[in-house]
Structure formats: structure tokens, C-alpha cells
Structure 1
Amino acid sequence: MTPRGVALLVPDITARRGMERATTNLANALAGAGWPVRLISVFSNGAPAAYPLTPDVELLHLGLQREVSNNVQRLVKLAHTLRHLAKPTQTAEVIIAAEGMLAVNAAILKMQRPWQQVIAWEHLLSELDPPLYRRLRRAFYPMLDAVVVLNEHERLAFASWGLKHVVRIPNVTSFPEVQVADYDQPRAISVGAHTADRVKGFDRLIPEAAPVLRTQPQWKIVIVGRDVPGPELEQLATAHGVAEQVERLAAVSDISAQYRRASFMVMASRHEALPMVILEAKAHGLATLAYDVPHGPREMITDGVDGFLVPDGDSVTFARRFEQLVTGEALRRQLGEAAAQSAAQYSPQAIAEQWRPLLQRSRARTTQRRPGNV
């Protein structure tokens, strides 16, 4: 059966963030499964993609302005984006929008293209939307053919809107080939951007790990991510007496090298959707210690099997689990090997197969279709 063309919409594929990595991985996976893929980066101006795309993925930059400060500007931006998306998506059999307002644009385009399959692919927790965006999504999402989410909480949330086809599909791993860690390395790794909202929780990770680090002077936590090398985390580590044991690195091009030098992953995030970093840790045979925050970690970590999941805010238990991992090489190995075994479910082939029924639904339509691929 001849594959249909897919237009994959993303805000800015040049940004080095989790959504962009997940989008790159999905584009590569679908192209590898035989689907012609055009990746449309709406707010970028032609810089290289942050993560490698295969030659089979066509990349198109629209170069639109992204920043807005009020609802009037948001509506103007919606209309402007809609106008610029019309032409590059018009021959696609399927549109996948990797961001809520891009999905609204695609839903509006679908009103004139009933033959097109339009799918919203959700990455951010829906309750974090600005009120206007949330209202627009509630108004236009019923026009979509499907909404794909990353966790069960989001699936239930969108189903409560009355949407009939909400599907949970995990992200594709960035590292299909599992690389088992060397568990005697005295390094824990934590990955994520240090943002003003402190969502990644480095401000609580350092104080909670510090008492253990002070008793284990050979151990380090390596924190990797955007804005991590700034003064705030340095001052926090100094205040807790572990300045030499908290290594802070900016976002790196070869994150795999950092995982390979670690013995386990630790994260203290305040909320997550489906953390790419846990997928990456599994692919390197690393157990993950995380708080049971809304909503992704609980769907990726089996407590005591391939990592530890601690009730959110229970700093005493978090510190105790951290100490167990630091002092127990056999435990790190046991949990890490189990994590590696679970990594296969996130392979490009496995995830592309989960997407296939959605992408093929358009072939069963009785409404008018437009011939041709992307």
C-alpha cells in the first residue's frame, strides 16, 4: 500500500528542547517507515535543525514572528500563521500539529479540506495553556480527527472535552541502540533547562542530595541543560557545601556521552508530560530516581524495578533513595538493566507502528480526497 504524505508542524525545530527532539525523532521514525514527511518549522528562519534529521525528511522554515504579549496579538498571530500554513500543507494527506495553536490552525484549514486527516500531537500539559488558547482549542479540537497525548492524565483530560478519538502514544527514543552503563562511575546525571519557573526542580535537587554528597566526596551530580551554568545553581551548591560536586554543563550536542559517564539518572521536576530524558536514560541502561509528579514519570518508572518513584515533596524518602543508589552498585546495576530492557517499547519501529492506524484512517474515508503526496 502506497504511503500518504505527512505534514508535521512544529513551532521551532532549531530550538534545543524536548519537544523539538521528540518531533525530530517522530519525523525520522515515520520517514523510516516509508511515509513521505515534510517538517514545517513555523517560527524559524532557516538555521539548522537542533537535532539530526534523516535525508528523507523535507524541512521547510516559514520564519514567522512568535512573540506576543496580549490576546489581540495572539489572534492576529493566529490569522497570520493560518495564511502562511495554507499553501505548504495543501497537498498533505495527513497533518500532525505538534503544538496546540498549530492544531487550531490545522483544524481551521480542515474546514476547507474534508479529505485531510488532522491530528493534534500534545506535548505540554493542557492545563498550562493561556485562557484564550484553551478556549480556542475547546472550540476547534472537535473538528480534529484525533488527539495524540503522551500520558493517561492528558488522555482523560481531553476525553472530558467530549473528544471521541484521544490516543496515548509515547515519544520515540533518541537512542534506538541500547548502551548499557558502567555502574561503577561515581556520577549521577540530571538533564533539563533551568528556567524561571524552576519546573525541572534543580533548586530542590541540590539541597536534598547535598547531605549524601558530603559523605561521599568522590561522587558528583552532573546537571546538563540550557541556562544551567548560570550563577543561581552555583550559589545554591556553594551554600550547601557541594560546589565541587555539582557539575553544571550547558546543553551539549552529544548528550549520549554524558549518559555513558553516569551510573543513574536523578530528576526533581515539578511536572512533566512524558520526559524524553527518562527515555534517554533507559536507552543507556540507567535507572531513574524521580518524584511522582503530574504526570509522566509514573507511566515510565516502575518503582523498585527500573528506578524509584517518590511521592512528590517527600524529601526524606528522596534523599534516602538517592543514598541507596549512590552507595549500592549492585542496586544501580539491577535497576539499570531492567530500565534497558524496557527501552525497546520506545524504538522508532515500535512507535511508528502505533501511529500507523491513525495515518491510514484517511484511506477509509468516503468523503472526497485530494490526490498526491507532500
Structure 2
Amino acid sequence: MGNEADRLGGVGRFMNEMAMGFYRRGYACEIVGIAPAPEGHLQSYTRPVEIAVRTMMPDHAPAEWNIRNDADRKDRRRVARYRRRMELRRIAVERLRHLLKEWGPSTLIICTQVFAMEHMVEAGYDANDFNMPRVVGQYHGSFYGAKLTGKDVRRVTESYRNVDKTVFLTEEDATLFRKQGLNNTFWIPNPVSAPDSQNTVRRNTFFALGRYDEEKGLHFLLSAWESIAGLIPDWNLELYGEGELRPQLQRMIDDNSIPRADLMGKTDRVGDVIASSKVHVLSSVHEGLPIAIVEAGLLGAPTVAFDCAPGIRELIESGRNGIVVPLQNIKILAEEMLRLARDESLLSTLSRHCAEDMQRYSPSAIVDRWENLFVEMSR
């Protein structure tokens, strides 16, 4: 269960990968989203028809629905949007209420996001009711990222306080949340399969995979690229994703005449993008355990990443299978990108090692760890 089923991004890929992994081992699986994926953010997956997919809200929430001040309360259209949003929430909660009874104690819910858990709590989930499903909560960000939001630490600790287990992506994040009073913590990294690819020829291309939003810090990457693009005229930069900051990022490219930098939009051929490029760059302000680093590595594209979360250091051994640079340090990010573009031997070594090292995140290995957790929960 997550905020949305089949949404573009890491959590959506995780939900699909886990459902497929459990299905192959004989589990009855379904994927549940609270809301529909936003327009333009729906990711298509091929999977067996036995894996049911359902969404609790019958429609997208209206834009600008929240009521923040007196002016909003006097805006009749905004009030109408707010009422529609609350109606959709009530529908979702009522559907969940029936599902919790239907699923019963033989069902285990892996709740991947706090928003979804908050709906389950409102629907009557009670950890002390043994007629209810068992629940494992998850948080796919880092503790540092949760603090940056200003509210996620509180939301995580309140929502997951009474579930059977709360699973984080790294041991360090599990420890930090435990210090906040969450005593049921555990940690398991995400499973990742190598994306399908038909390309074999690599171009001199840096690429990024992620939403066009503040969290991904793509303006840092564009600034770094701007400072070195003239020194490596046979290289280019491609940014794949979608999001609200697209106009601002395009304006930055145009206003600064940044050469050979393109916003490529959403892609359903992630494997082809990776296999036809040489270096993945992650310039995020905060992350959990980024699936994009593993996907890129499995196809031999090492990552240069900001040190924005424990998950980065969990994935990248700097100098062996990628490069980690200080958070938001544009100068060093540019220097490391330039070094990889100029040093074919180093790039080849990193490429070979990342393809080897990322195998530890294979779905089979990670599903093994989840089944070990199930055994522990059954004692």
C-alpha cells in the first residue's frame, strides 16, 4: 500500500518489485494506492493479472484545495475544492474500513508511506485488534530528510508507533528514529532489478533520473554543468523526469545559454537511457536509498552524488563504484564530473565495480530478508 499505485518514481518501482517478488514465491499479492497517480506521473508496468491493483479515491484531488487563512475561507471556489478533497478522503477511508475487515488477520500490509498509514488509522486500524491485518510501516526517506520537512519525524513516529515493525532503508536511519521513541524499528534496503535495455553503444552523456522538483536539486546540477560544458565539448547532459519546476529549469538553461543541456521529460525506457549513457548524477538535497543509483549501477553507469543521506554512503563506496561529494558543493560536483569525462580508465573501473556491487540489491536477496522479518514477526 502506498500513496498512489504505479506512480512514476522510486516508491512506485519498489511496490511493483516487491509485489512481483512475493508473487513468484507463491504469495497472493495486491497493490493498493490511496489516490490516483497525478496526471503525467503514471508509470506503466507489465505484471501478472493475478496481482490486483486498486485505488481508494475515485478521482484526483483538486488543485489548491487547502484552507490556510481568512481569505481562503471567503473564496467560495476554494472552499468547494476543499469540500471535494474532504469528500474524496472520506470515500477512501470508508473503502479502507471495509477492506481491513475483508483482509483480516491472515493479511500483512506493507504500508510504504505515512500518508497511506494515516488513512488506515482513520479507517479504524487498531494494532490491538487481532481481527485486523498485520502491518509493517515504511519510510522511504532518510531521518535527515524527515527533519528538513519540519513535520515528517512527528508523522512517522505517531503513525507507526503501534504497527508490528517500521522498516527503514539503512541501519543508521533506523537507529536515529529509534532515538525519537519509535521502538519497533528494523532496516531493509530496497530491491532493484536491472532495467530492460536494448542499447549497447554508450554516448558521452551525463544523465539524471528524477522529478523536476526542489528535492532533486537539479539547479545545482545545471550550475555544475554550466561551469564545465565548455571544457568537454563532446559531452552532453540529459535530465529525465517530470514536475512543477520544469519551466524554471528550462528558463535557467535558456537565460544562461547553458549548452547541450536538455530536459528530456518522462521516459518509459529507463534501461535504454542508462545503457546509452556513461555517468549518472544525483544532486538531491535529501534522499532515502535511491533506486536510480542501483539501476544505473547494474547497467554499468556509476553515479556522482551529493552526500545527502546515509543511503548514499550505503550504496556508493567513493572511488570504487562511484563518487560522493559534499552536499550542495557545486564546485566539487563539477570537478568530479569533469574528472570522469577526461579519465576513461577511472570511468571504466567505476563502471565495472558498480555493476558488480549493486547485485547485492537483487530482488531475490531482498525478498529473502523480508521473509526473515516475517519469521521474526511470527514468533
TM-score bin, normalised by smaller chain: 0.7 to 0.9
Q: Which residue of 1 aligns with 2:147?
A: 127
Residue 15 of structure 1: CA displacement? 2.4
Q: Percent identity?
A: 20
Match of 2:204 in 1: 186
Residue matched to 1:206 = 222
1:339–1:114: structure 2 CA closer, same or farther, 3 Å change rule? same
Q: 1:253 aligns with which of 262, 268, 272?
A: 268
Residue in 2 that maps onto 1:44? 36
Instruction: Tell me how far 1:188 sits from its aligned partner.
Output: 1.2
| Contact 2:236/2:261 (8 A) holds in 1 | yes
Does the aligned pair in 2 maintain the 1:266–1:288 contact within 8 Å?
A: yes
Please give the alpha-carbon distance, in whole angstroms, between the structure 1 residues aligned to 2:342 and 2:297: 20
- Residues 21-79 of structure 1: per-residue CA shift (max 9 Å, x gap): 2211121122122221121122129x996241521422122225656625998998776
Aligned residues: 351
Partner secondary structure for residue 338 of structure 1: helix
Tell me by how many angstroms 1:342 deviates.
Answer: 1.1
Q: CA deviation at 1:326?
A: 0.7
Of 49-58 and 73-82, more deviation after overlay is shown by: 73-82
Query: Counterpart of 1:34?
Result: 26
Deviation larger for 352-361 or 72-81: 72-81
Q: Given that residues 301 and 307 in structure 1 are in contact (C-alpha distance below 8 angstroms), is that contact kept between their aligned partners in structure 2?
A: yes
Match 1:11 to one of 3, 7, 14:
3
Please give the secondary structure, in 2, of the residue aligned with 1:296: helix
2:85 matches 1:85: no
CA RMSD of aligned residues (A): 3.1
Q: Partner amino acid for 1:354?
A: R
**Letter of the 2:3 counterpart:** P
CA drift of 1:140 comes to 4.3
Counterpart-to-counterpart distance in 2, 1:218 and 1:141: 50
TM-score if structure 2 supplies the norm length?
Answer: 0.82
**Deviation sequence 1:227-268 (CA, Å, 0-9, x none):** 49944333323444433x112211111111111110111121
Is the counterpart of residue 339 in structure 1 residue 325 in structure 2? no
- Give the unaligned 5+ runs of structure 1: 1-8, 365-374
Q: 1:308 deviation in Å?
A: 0.6
In structure 2, how many angstroms separate the alpha carbons of the residues matched to 1:177 and 1:165?
A: 37
User: Which residue, 16, 21, 42 being the options, matches 1:24?
Assistant: 16
SS at match of 1:272: coil
Which residue of the partner structure matches residue 4 of structure 1? none
Q: For the structure 1 residues 236 and 139, does the alpha-carbon distance in structure 2 shift closer, same or farther, using more than 3 Å as the test?
A: closer
Aligned to 1:165: 184
**Paired residues of 1:269 and 1:291 also in contact (CA < 8 A):** yes
Quick check: 1:186–1:263 contact (8 Å CA) kept in 2? yes
SS at match of 2:125: helix
What are the equivalent positions in structure 2 for 1:285-300 lying under 5 Å apart? 285-300=300-315
Tell me the distance in 1 between the aligned counterparts of 2:302 and 2:199. Answer: 11
1:100-150: CA deviation from partner (whole Å, max 9, x where unpaired): 13224445413463253211011234335564x755543442211100111
| C-alpha distance in structure 1 between counterparts of 2:108 and 2:98, whole Å | 14
Corresponding position of 1:5: none
Work out whether residues 228 and 338 of structure 2, in 8 Å CA contact, stay in contact via their aligned partners in 1. Answer: yes
- Counterpart in the other structure of 1:110: 126
Q: Measure, in 2, the Cα distance between the counterparts of 1:295 and 1:76.
A: 39
* Paired residues of 2:114 and 2:155 also in contact (CA < 8 A): no
Normalised by the length of structure 1, the TM-score is 0.83
- Partner amino acid for 1:201? G
Is the contact made by 1:181 and 1:284 (CA closer than 8 Å) also made in structure 2? no
The answer for the alignment partner of 1:154 in structure 2 is: 173
CA change 1:231–1:44 in 2 (3 A) is closer
Q: Residues 179 and 171 of structure 1: is their aligned pair in 2 closer, same or farther, counting only changes over 3 Å?
A: farther
Task: Measure how far apart 1:203 and its partner are.
Answer: 0.8
What residue ranges of structure 2 are gaps of 5+ in the alignment?
A: 69-81
More helix by share: 2
Secondary structure of the equivalent of 1:87? helix
Relative distance call for 1:167 and 1:202 in structure 2 (3 A) is: same
2:179 alignment partner AA: S
Deviations along 1:157-180, one digit per CA (max 9) or x if unpaired, are: 321232333111111114278999
- CA distance in structure 2 between the partners assigned to 1:81 and 1:360 by the alignment: 31
Give 1:301 shift. 0.7
2:66 alignment partner in structure 1: 69
- Other structure's SS at 2:21 match: helix
Match of 1:367 in 2: none
